[in-house]
Structure 1
């Protein structure tokens, strides 16, 4: 690969995004940079100007002008930071949240229209190419790397789901797997059945759900349920929000399931996944899971390869 290869790709991609923006007025009446600032504020509730400037690589004066415009337009409010009195915390107002939601909806519709022009057989290849670029160029940080940037009060907490959050698990699984892998509503239906079965009848001594919370909002989840095989538990529905990846949340959720299953007296822990979920598979391998079987199947609108993984559990004293 040469420098010109990268520049050629950049010209193609920025041209594509620019055309989509022009045709659909994606960010109007805001610029792309202003829309990105709104996105960051909508997805991270504890930000100040320094966080935005560092995270987006913006000039201080340019960002200040954007924030002043937002404040004049009633999109943001500024107040004292809870962690550092020298800083000003920036939060979206109700009008700001509605505006950010509108831009998000436009973006979702635009990308959906773009994918409509991609042949179903080509979508897995496109998704894998995008993940490869992110992995190689460093968008996905090693577990724990971002943790050093956490502010006081922003530690990750694993807890039981609150009222309504089982529904959140269904919604986020459906939305994220559609966005990242192009899976259809068949997958969301599967998740809904799994969650409904748990909600209607589960033994709290043998089955459990964890919600990972960061900065006061859910950013991940996982389930441990009984398998049909006696003495076997099953790990299900592991998910970490894209914006929260890199904090080691996936590792903590998998470790929570392993510890719970061991303490509950299970002899082994199993899970089913698909080969396209490369990040999750690396995570399972780090925790000692072993691949035991692979089977091609047609599900969720795609040709996939399903995988069974297994982890033997031993007493802590073994």
Structure 2
């Protein structure tokens, strides 16, 4: 497939814009005395420990002479130490010294602060769209993308606030629901926290350390019935089966907690969620039209035996 001139020009324009925004053309990265390439070398050494110089040059796509000059400057500053590779004296292994690790930590903090300042003027929705777009760019251009690391964990401080905020923002942007939905979610979260019931549990899905979804299991109308609540998957992480994993975890917990039946409430326009529930064995009990959250909705109750 041929690549059009317009596409090429858009990519070049984006590159010029982004290098200006992140300061690649500045003398030092994030107000430091290190260039972007030097910072990347420091990152690789800090992340990987001892690295053979040939591997480092290949993985970063650097000219051998250029990398040698960078490591020479690091040597002069006492940031690295070198030794012959075991088993092959012709190869050299380089690693950070204590001073090098301290320098990397300081530079890493400065870069983190610089990115935080860059994002600060943006609202949460704009930040989410920006991060999702960046993730898409990486996914499309990475020749050997690593599979995303999806982890389910229990709730930690700050998670309940995130669940309420993301439900409110996503359902407003995707379906036009008003603030009463966020109020409902806040009530569910508050009751969960106040009850501290051992037969309740909540989970956060993380992808490469970033929050990507949630689900809760809470007691229902009687001692044999549980309720699945607040299933959410962030738009940028859909397609990774996160929703199914969250629902499966909820079902496993409900069984261990001694429930014999589990129910949930949803609306028919949430197609992806409905397909997850169907695959997990839920069946539709009843439905009716309601006016909630500023919209006309087809309200549905689903359940299944445990």
TM-score range normalised by the length of the shorter chain:
0.5 to 0.7
Is 1:220 matched with 2:220? no
Is 1:70 matched with 2:65? no
CA distance in 2: counterparts of 1:58 and 1:208, whole angstroms: 51
- Tell me the equivalent position of 2:170: 176
State the Cα distance separating 1:264 from its structure 2 match. 1.6
State the Cα distance separating 1:92 from its structure 2 match. 6.4
State the Cα distance separating 1:103 from its structure 2 match. 4.8
Contact 2:289 2:298 in 1 (8 A): yes
TM-score for the superposition, normalised by structure 1: 0.60
CA distance in 1: counterparts of 2:8 and 2:273, whole angstroms: 30
Per-residue Cα deviation, 1:185-215 (whole angstroms, up to 9, x for no partner): 10011001100001001322x1100011112
Is 1:282 matched with 2:275? yes
- Tell me the equivalent position of 1:151: 146
CA distance in 2: counterparts of 1:101 and 1:223, whole angstroms: 30
The partner residue of 2:240 within 242, 247, 251 is 247
Classify 1:101/1:260 alpha carbon distance in 2 versus 1 (closer, same or farther; 3 Å): same
CA distance in 1: counterparts of 2:228 and 2:264, whole angstroms: 5
- Tell me the equivalent position of 1:163: 157
The partner residue of 1:102 within 108, 121, 141 is 121
Per-residue Cα deviation, 1:139-192 (whole angstroms, up to 9, x for no partner): 9xxxxxxxx97637x411111111111111111111111111111110011001
Contact 2:125 2:169 in 1 (8 A): no
Greater CA radius of gyration, 1 or 2? 2
- 2:204 alignment partner, SS class: strand
- Tell me the equivalent position of 2:231: 238
State the Cα distance separating 1:241 from its structure 2 match. 0.7
- Tell me the equivalent position of 2:91: none
Per-residue Cα deviation, 1:91-150 (whole angstroms, up to 9, x for no partner): 965344433443557969xxxxxxxxxxxxxxxxxxxxxxxxxxxxxx9xxxxxxxx976
CA distance in 2: counterparts of 1:248 and 1:304, whole angstroms: 26
- 1:213 alignment partner, SS class: strand
- Tell me the equivalent position of 1:308: 301
- Tell me the equivalent position of 2:257: 264
Classify 1:268/1:167 alpha carbon distance in 2 versus 1 (closer, same or farther; 3 Å): same
CA distance in 2: counterparts of 1:265 and 1:259, whole angstroms: 10
The partner residue of 1:298 within 286, 291, 299 is 291
Could you say what the CA RMSD is over the residues aligned between the two structures, in angstroms? 3.4
Contact 2:202 2:215 in 1 (8 A): yes
Structure 1: any 5+ residue segments left out of the alignment? Answer: 1-55, 109-138, 140-147, 314-318
Greater RCO (CA < 8 Å, at least 6 residues apart)? 1
- 1:218 alignment partner, SS class: strand
How many residues in Structure 1 have an aligned counterpart in Structure 2? 217
Is 1:196 matched with 2:190? yes
CA distance in 2: counterparts of 1:100 and 1:58, whole angstroms: 26
CA distance in 2: counterparts of 1:273 and 1:106, whole angstroms: 24
State the Cα distance separating 1:278 from its structure 2 match. 1.0
